[in-house]
Chains A and B, each alone.
Chain A
Amino acid sequence: MSQIETVLSRLRERFPNAIADVCEFRGDTTVIIPREFLLDVARFLRSELRFEMLLDITALDWLPKEPRFDVLYYLLSLEHNTRVRLRVPLSSWDTNVPSVTAIYPGANFYEREVFDLFGITFNNHPFLHRLLLPDYTTGHPLRKDHPLGYEPVEFTHTYAEIQPDKPSAVPPPKPRRLIGSVGGAVTEIPLTLTEPATPWSGTQSETLLINMGPHHPSTHGVLRVALEVDGEKIVNAMPDIGYLHTGIEKNAEYKTYLKAIPLFDRMDYLGTWFNNLAYCLAVEKLMQVDVPERAQIARVILCEVARVASHLIAVGSQAMDIGAVTLMTYAFREREVALDIFEMVSGARMMASFFRFGGLALDLPAGFSDAVRAFMNMIPGRLKEYEDLLNKNPIWIERTRGIAEYTAEQALAYSVTGPLLRAAGVKWDLRKVAPYSGYEQYDFHVPFSTRAKADVFECYLVRMEEMRQSLRILDQALKQLEKTKGQPYVTSNRKVAPPPKQELQTSMESLIHHFKLWTEGFMPPVGYAYAAVESPRGELGFLVSSNGTNMPHRVHVRTPSFANLQTLPLISKGYYIADLVGIIAMTDIILGDVDR
């Protein structure tokens, strides 16, 4: 009996009335439960069945069907390497669910996001406010009946556009909510996540409130942290996000599957290849497409080069935030070589959009292997150089060792994945535990910490070691690539991949496929599929839901930065302002990845 069957049978045994249905689709198991049982089931899953982590919460809007909404909870058991999805159907006139934040603290941001974008209320959530959109927004944009707005045009020749009575979905700009100032102004956001919302009172307390960001040199983009400090010591740190929210998930619903690929490049702009890969994997899973070996190897190579490049930035910018500016320029110098490889392959240095469903857009160019090999040979010496600069530097050690300590339990509870989780001593890497794209054939280690608690220094060490392991993978993958020379780089399934140009002149069928693909795209069966990859920041998962048309019904992205950022209040409390920049750098968040 497989793990998931054990889970299901134990669930049925414990809650005979709760399981409304179990649905299996493309290897994912979804358990449909009414919302009355949600908390009990979640508690049972967490405590008895060892589902330690809540990976994701999202919702689907099935307008005009009833029950209209599905709230999806995606749970992961690291111990059994099992995943299960809970689906709670909600009717359109009663959109309430109990909050699971008491069971899984990591649900906090996710529930706020669903509340923000779908208008589903989570009862007993400690702080149910909009997360990504400003407070003054009306409506919930991911609902299917949300009016599509337009920007009021400054100048136009079209009379229809200047009609004054035409409703504008864009409200007049209002100031974003303010968080206090010296002299006793009141916060709208509570500074703690666990305590009830108490207004911050500058007149009575000795603390100072600082708005760090959104334009601050070390918040890695447009993150705003409301800091309550006592002297220089952090009493509370509350991240405020959404400044880079561009509605990528909503935009994807209005593009064909293929045309949505470049959108996702813009999320995690340091790991664009991972976004492409995870999305392609999800659609391939939905369409049941096989990827030829050469394409898989190429994907692995490109992603590992990208992982090294991304970790270089993580380490370099972390060093810069702590004051060692020189390391940043070194890291960028090395990354330049990686970008040259990307440019050579796709023509773009960052936003590659090179992966396609079933393979690659093009075959790899001549000289690719040599370029990657040169990169591979260069990096170890350079990493040694960094370590000479940092590893024994007493200032660096004092600034990183013992800073932002957290345990594995805390990391799991807050849905932390990636190097941050491994630095807490959990050996968890999707490339090992749920291999995709042929990672099972490569020999590499998953670095993880052996200390009781993670800190900034551990994270740095894990990243450095991961780069070395990536180089090992690259070495093996390049050898594999040589063997597959001349083999196809994209699937021969003409439903998702266009036929080669030569075929069009001889084959009527190819012409039809080509025409269909470029005019309407393809139509996956109704249902949803989830695929995840190990991005440099953690588990990056795409949930692609199809309603049978040529455009996705919904694409939800489980981005690692989003979950990792939630830990900031927890891990930065009690340290200094100077540490906070190091802690933000340690979480290695990409704000595009957080806000989407």
Chain B
Amino acid sequence: MSLDPLVITIIEALVKSIVVIVGLLTAFAYLTLVERYVVAKIQSRIGPNRVGAIGPIAVLQPIADALKMIFKEDIWPAQADQVAYTIAPGIAVGTALVAWAVIPLNPSLTIAGYKIDFYIADVNVALLYLLAIGSLGVYGIVLGGWSSNNKYSLLGALRSTAQMVSYEISLGLGLVGVLMISGSLSLVDIVQKQATVWNVVWQPLGLIVYFIAATAEINRLPFDLPEAETELVAGFATEYSSLKWALFYMAEYINMITISVIASTLFLGGYQGPFGILPGFHWLFLKIAFFIFVLMWIRYTFPRFRYDQLMRFGWKVLLPLALANIFVTAIVMVVLGR
């Protein structure tokens, strides 16, 4: 019996999606735990050590957190815009998840004559897709902040919009250098072209600009202005509780993984590892872990920017840097005749 190839493709995509989503949700859950340990270490505290502790590690802590979140009362502000208030967390998490459709996680394998690709879709404009999806994510925050009918939330949403506008450009321009070198928008191609030399060797500035802009894009300290708990209580999430609140955090953590995986893919060769030791996915995992650790490290070291300083930094520092990077790359490429 042979199946229609279309059906096979659909089933394959479905299975892969489910695997990726489940994987991401698990990763999110344990990322919170990892962050708590990293923070505890940085801040000379102990960290969680009660729930199902194996040695010093509380392995069941994320599950306990999830249960707590689910059973918390879901509070609706009386004057909230019901529709927007409900779908906002969904948008935040949805956009965070669909970005993963185009990311290659491992070299393709051939098992029993059947080729398995470790990506859901090889889109030829994958990079544009990632940027587009990334900017959609801000709608979750803006809608959530606006619909809560709370002044702090509103301010958080406003800040988020302004921040997105300022940093989106640097984010995109930071990646242009990589595109010029690779000559492709497909992530699979970009990874394969880094088999010998990683892009970071040619594009260190691009990586820095991208990473800073991406940190701002996902609202991590020192750019966590939309949330800014000491100023705006909890910013856009002030009125959210229970599972809706958890969804926002899920989006934030998944975005952390996403920007780390993009940085690894575009600049550090994705699943390519030196010397052929270790299978591909391990390399990617290590690179993601490195970036995530840097994100946490930054978060618990720096104070927060102020709104106007953030804008100034975005427009007057990051943007010129990104443009300079493009110019230099172009000139060098012309000189080298590539």
Taking beta carbons and an 8 Å cutoff, which residues of A are in contact with B?
Answer: 182, 208, 210, 216-218, 232, 319-326, 329-330, 333, 389-390, 393, 395-396, 398-399, 576-581
Complex Cα gap A580–B307 (Å):
13
Complex Cα gap A210–B228 (Å):
16
Contact A320 B230 (CB under 8 A): yes
A395-B305 contact, Cβ under 8 Å, with A323-B230, A333-B44, A581-B230: yes
Complex Cα gap A325–B79 (Å):
33
Contact B151 A578 (CB under 8 A): no
User: Is B18 part of the contact surface with A, judged by Cβ < 8 Å?
Assistant: no
Complex Cα gap A579–B309 (Å):
12
Contact B303 A399 (CB under 8 A): yes
Q: Which 6 A-B pairs have the closest CB atoms?
A: A323-B304, A329-B43, A324-B303, A323-B303, A218-B230, A322-B303
B-side contacts of A581, CB under 8 Å = 230-231
For window 29-49 of B, CB contacts with A under 8 Å fall at 42-45
A-side contacts of B305, CB under 8 Å = 395, 398-399
Complex Cα gap A333–B44 (Å):
8
Contact A395 B231 (CB under 8 A): no
User: Is B327 part of the contact surface with A, judged by Cβ < 8 Å?
Assistant: no
Contact A326 B43 (CB under 8 A): yes
User: Is B302 part of the contact surface with A, judged by Cβ < 8 Å?
Assistant: yes
Contact A395 B307 (CB under 8 A): no
A-side contacts of B301, CB under 8 Å = 324, 326, 389
Smallest beta-carbon distance B225→chain A, Å: 8
Complex Cα gap A182–B307 (Å):
23
**Chain B interface size range:** 20 to 34
Selected from B42, B224, B229, B307, the residue in CB contact (under 8 A) with A576 is B307
A232-B307 contact, Cβ under 8 Å, with A182-B151, A323-B222, A323-B302: yes
Contact A395 B304 (CB under 8 A): yes
B-side contacts of A395, CB under 8 Å = 222, 302-305, 309
Complex Cα gap A390–B308 (Å):
20
Smallest beta-carbon distance A451→chain B, Å: 21
Nearest-CB residue, chain B, relative to A398: B309
Contact A578 B43 (CB under 8 A): no
Selected from B151, B224, B302, B303, the residue in CB contact (under 8 A) with A210 is B151
Smallest beta-carbon distance B44→chain A, Å: 6
Smallest beta-carbon distance A380→chain B, Å: 18
Contact A217 B303 (CB under 8 A): no
For window 221-241 of B, CB contacts with A under 8 Å fall at 221-222, 224-225, 228-233
Q: 9 A–B contact pairs at CB < 8 A?
A: A210-B152, A232-B308, A322-B303, A323-B303, A329-B43, A398-B305, A399-B303, A399-B304, A578-B306
Selected from B151, B159, B230, B309, the residue in CB contact (under 8 A) with A208 is B151
A-side contacts of B159, CB under 8 Å = 232
Complex Cα gap A396–B309 (Å):
11
Complex Cα gap A330–B300 (Å):
12
Smallest beta-carbon distance B40→chain A, Å: 9
Contact B230 A321 (CB under 8 A): yes
A-side contacts of B303, CB under 8 Å = 319, 322-324, 390, 393, 395-396, 399
A578-B231 contact, Cβ under 8 Å, with A322-B303, A395-B305: yes
Complex Cα gap A325–B304 (Å):
10
B-side contacts of A320, CB under 8 Å = 230
Selected from B43, B152, B155, B304, the residue in CB contact (under 8 A) with A322 is B304
Contact B230 A393 (CB under 8 A): no
Contact A329 B44 (CB under 8 A): yes
For window 300-327 of B, CB contacts with A under 8 Å fall at 300-309
Complex Cα gap A373–B324 (Å):
56
A-side contacts of B225, CB under 8 Å = 578
Smallest beta-carbon distance A185→chain B, Å: 13
A-side contacts of B221, CB under 8 Å = 323
Contact A576 B43 (CB under 8 A): no
Contact B44 A399 (CB under 8 A): no
Complex Cα gap A208–B158 (Å):
13
Selected from B44, B231, B309, the residue in CB contact (under 8 A) with A218 is B231
Nearest-CB residue, chain B, relative to A233: B308
Contact A326 B308 (CB under 8 A): no
B-side contacts of A580, CB under 8 Å = 231
Other A-B contacts than A577-B232, A580-B231, 13 sampled, CB-CB below 8 A, are: A208-B151, A217-B229, A232-B155, A320-B230, A323-B303, A326-B42, A329-B43, A329-B44, A329-B45, A333-B44, A576-B307, A579-B306, A581-B231
